[in-house]
Amino acid sequence: MKLLISAFSFIVLLLPLSAAAQSAQERCTALSGPGATVEHRMVSLPDAPTRILKSQVDPAHDGLPESCRIHGLIAPQTHFELRMPTETWNGKFLMAGCGGYCGTIDTGRTDPGLARNYAVVQTDMGHQGSSWLFAYNNLQGEIDFGFRSTHTVAKASKEIIDAYYGSRAEKNYFMGCSTGGRQAMVEAQRFPRDFDGIIAGAPVYDETGDGAYFVAWNPLANMGEDGKPILSPDKLPMIRQSVMDTCDAADGLEDGILQDPRQCGWKPEDIQCRRGRDGDSCLTTDEVEVLNKIYTGATDSNGEPWYFGMSRGSEYTWTPEFIGQDGKIGNWLEGPQSFGEEFMTTMPFFYDPPAGTPASTFDFDRDPPRMGLTEGIYNSQNPDLRKFKKNGGKMLLYHGWDDDQIPPGISVDYYDTVTRTMGGPAQTKDFFRLFMIPSMLHCTMGGPGGTAIDWVTALENWVENGQAPDEIIVRKRVTQGMGQPRARFPLDPSEYNQTRRVFAYPDVARYKGEGDPNDPGNWEKASNP
């Protein structure tokens, strides 16, 4: 790795502090291009040798301020894009995490922060392209994706911000979900001085395990000995309705939303067919076994747990990923070059298996111990956050109870483990809080409970004003899910049609029994058993 970095060992060319008298256009374009060696002061960045490839001014548009856009490269292969408001900077820095494989610069993830006049940045995490195949026999790429790119881009961005404005950011924040949530956790655990405040959503704490224990386990749980699926997706609505009939009213309101699915006592056996029969309104013995495997999560052959399962009430999310359609196994494992096959070939093991190795070959007895070699590269499960707390850091963690990508139980387990490690609830809540969002899918993908939450304002109030959030407001946008622009707050009332109150874990919300459910005042805090 040192040889790779030293081969690209050059310096960043930045503006002198006296550049304040220049126009925004001049100050921005002078960061790169001809004459840079004369006009700029030279800075060498330890551990993050950086080159500014391009700088340009973007005019104000679509509610975004005029900004200086920097495209940079950190040796050997980490690209990033930093945007800095030219005239309206709020004095703060916000880094946005990526999602899934990363591999691209998605300005949609940084637009909301730029609209609030933050200097914003995102990185491709050391590779380009939307596929796990970037990691195949590519240790440098795995290191960048695992932990290095986020830290080095944060470091380089702070230097560029300092040079452009003539002062460092007053506060530094990070916000990300899924892979971005893992980036957030890596920062808090490994680089606790990088950020004053962190927002972590649905983190992939166990990058290696999630693919093996979740992506592979769930479709395989529905595969019979003949290789064909057991449970049809046609039965999922009936199953969810049975769950809701049993548990929906527990919070005082029947609205298709469970406050905490762990408190739902419904069992698949409750609707098991009698005397071995089959039907549209009941489950066979084999179908009951499939459901129990998915709810429980991955185990070895002796039933010892490896991972976490799906929540009751989330059944509407199970198809087509792991309950396939048209007689097929779930999409995660269906066919060559499936998500599961790509992941299993590149991520769990230090020595990658032959390309095209099916995910179904993962052995839940033999293979888990082998993943210890890669856990140190990817995973973010360390509950010891003493250094982050000592540095004054604050963190908001959130996860949707209906998440079908990262099992929500892992966030509850992580927070409980941190609480024990840090000395108890009081010592944890003074810097770290968890919000479990009822009936929310993965990140911003939607769900009956909504996904629109102004996390940035909540974090700002905590870090800058000492106002720790005991509750947040979640709104369901009229249009939500993949492909929708990310919410910019405050939302216009025309943008949402549902409002709910969510309390910091372990408390939950309960409807008071009268009044508009969309009025947060008609919900109260209730202790969770």
Q: In percent, how much of the chain has pLDDT > 90?
A: 76
Place of tokens 């973007």: 58
Q: How many CB atoms lie within 10 A of CB 106?
A: 16
For residue range 287-339, list pLDDT tens digits in order. Answer: 999 999 999 999 999 999 999 999 999 999 999 999 998 888 888 887 767 88
Q: Which residue has the higher pLDDT, 99 or 340?
A: 99
For residue range 344-374, list pLDDT tens digits in order. Answer: 889 899 999 998 888 888 999 999 999 999 9
- Determine the Cα–Cα distance for residues 477 and 473; give it in Å rounded to an integer: 13
Lowest-confidence range among 94-103, 156-165, 481-490?
481-490
Nearest Cα to Cα of residue 378 among 72, 35, 160, 125: 125
pTM above 0.75, yes or no: yes
- Residue 11 pLDDT grade (very low, low, confident, very high; cuts 50, 70, 90): very low
CB within 8 A of 442, min separation 6: which ones? 177, 178, 202, 400, 403, 404, 405, 406
- Determine the Cα–Cα distance for residues 395 and 387; give it in Å rounded to an integer: 13
For residue range 79-92, list pLDDT tens digits in order. Answer: 999 999 999 999 99
For residue range 252-295, list pLDDT tens digits in order. Answer: 999 999 999 999 999 999 999 997 677 889 999 999 999 999 99
- Residue 481 pLDDT grade (very low, low, confident, very high; cuts 50, 70, 90): confident
Query: Are the C-beta atoms of residues 15 and 40 closer than 8 Å to each other?
Result: yes
> Averaged over 127-141, what is the pLDDT?
91
Q: What is the pLDDT of residue 345?
A: 87
Q: Is the pLDDT of residue 42 over 60?
A: no
> Averaged over 442-468, what is the pLDDT?
96
Nearest Cα to Cα of residue 195 among 177, 160, 169: 169
Q: How many CB atoms lie within 10 A of CB 39?
A: 17
Q: What is the pLDDT of residue 1?
A: 41
Q: Which residue has the higher pLDDT, 445 or 24?
A: 445
Q: What is the pLDDT of residue 336?
A: 67
Nearest Cα to Cα of residue 405 among 434, 363, 440, 360: 440
User: Side-chain half-sphere of 171: how many Cα atoms within 13 Å?
Assistant: 19
Structure tokens at 498: 């549902």
Contacts 24+ apart (CB under 8 A), 2-9: 4/75, 4/76, 4/140, 5/49, 5/75, 5/76, 7/75, 7/76, 8/49, 8/51, 8/75, 8/76, 9/49, 9/75
Query: Are the C-beta atoms of residues 15 and 39 closer than 8 Å to each other?
Result: yes
Q: Which residue has the higher pLDDT, 448 or 345?
A: 448
For the beta sheet containing 67-74, the strands, ordered from the edge strand earlier in sequence to the opposite edge, are 50-58, 67-74, 78-85, 119-123, 92-96, 171-177, 197-201, 394-400, 432-437
Q: What is the distance in angstroms between the CA of the first residue and the CA of the last residue of the chain?
A: 50
- Determine the Cα–Cα distance for residues 256 and 439; give it in Å rounded to an integer: 8
> Averaged over 399-428, what is the pLDDT?
97
- Determine the Cα–Cα distance for residues 296 and 294; give it in Å rounded to an integer: 6
Q: Is the pLDDT of residue 19 over 50?
A: no
Residue 481 DSSP one-character state: S
- Residue 163 pLDDT grade (very low, low, confident, very high; cuts 50, 70, 90): confident
Q: What is the pLDDT of residue 490?
A: 95
Structure tokens at 195: 């950020």
- Determine the Cα–Cα distance for residues 305 and 217; give it in Å rounded to an integer: 12
- Determine the Cα–Cα distance for residues 235 and 370; give it in Å rounded to an integer: 37
- Determine the Cα–Cα distance for residues 507 and 34; give it in Å rounded to an integer: 59
- Determine the Cα–Cα distance for residues 375 and 357; give it in Å rounded to an integer: 21
Q: Is the pLDDT of residue 39 over 60?
A: no
> Averaged over 498-505, what is the pLDDT?
97
- Determine the Cα–Cα distance for residues 306 and 50; give it in Å rounded to an integer: 41
Beta bridge partners of residue 434, listed in sequence order = 397
Q: Is the pLDDT of residue 3 over 50?
A: no
Q: What is the pLDDT of residue 9?
A: 40
State whether residue 103 is helix, strand or coil: coil
Query: Are the C-beta atoms of residues 311 and 402 closer than 8 Å to each other?
Result: yes
- Determine the Cα–Cα distance for residues 148 and 225; give it in Å rounded to an integer: 43
> Averaged over 417-438, what is the pLDDT?
98
State whether residue 47 is helix, strand or coil: coil
Structure tokens at 488: 């910019």
CA 317 to each of CA 129, 402, 441: distance values in angstroms, whole numbers, following the listed order: 27, 8, 8
Q: Is the pLDDT of residue 387 over 50?
A: yes
Q: Is the pLDDT of residue 140 over 70?
A: yes
Q: What is the pLDDT of residue 2?
A: 43
Query: Are the C-beta atoms of residues 96 and 444 closer than 8 Å to each other?
Result: no
> Averaged over 195-218, what is the pLDDT?
93
Q: What is the pLDDT of residue 32?
A: 79
Q: What is the pLDDT of residue 5?
A: 41
Tell me what the pLDDT averaged over the chain comes to.
Answer: 91
Residue 80 DSSP one-character state: E
> Averaged over 167-193, what is the pLDDT?
98
Query: Are the C-beta atoms of residues 152 and 125 closer than 8 Å to each other?
Result: no
- Determine the Cα–Cα distance for residues 363 and 119; give it in Å rounded to an integer: 46
